[in-house]
Amino acid sequence: MDLKEVMAVNVRRIRHDKQMTQEELADRAGLSARYVGAIERANKAASVTILGRIAEALGVDPAVLIKRLGD
């Protein structure tokens, strides 16, 4: 799994754990819901800036979003 896919899985998992919709996450991060959906499907790679905005919106450290499970 490449980092884009790792981030997709982690964003989706954390968002679900926090019972947040894609729309809510997008609003908190200042992004479009379409863009958040594309990131969660690993169709788009997020820049470091976007990674930080998503992490802040989720209330997690940015490193959590690119950490492979089991590491």
Residue pLDDT, tens place only, 30-43: 999 999 999 999 99
Q: Tell me the two tokens of residue 39.
A: 């990131």
Burial class (CB in 10 A: 0-12, 13-18, 19+), 33: middle
Which one has a higher pLDDT value, 33 or 69? 33
Q: Whole-model pTM?
A: 0.93
Q: Which residues contact 19 (CB under 8 A, 6 or more apart)?
A: none
Question: 8 burial class (0-12, 13-18, 19+ CB within 10 angstroms)?
Answer: buried
Question: Residue 31: its pLDDT value, please?
Answer: 98
Tell me what percent of the residues of the chain surpass a pLDDT of 90.
94
What's residue 69's pLDDT?
80
What does pLDDT average to over the chain?
A: 96
Q: How far is Cα 71 from Cα 50, in angstroms, rounded to an integer?
A: 23
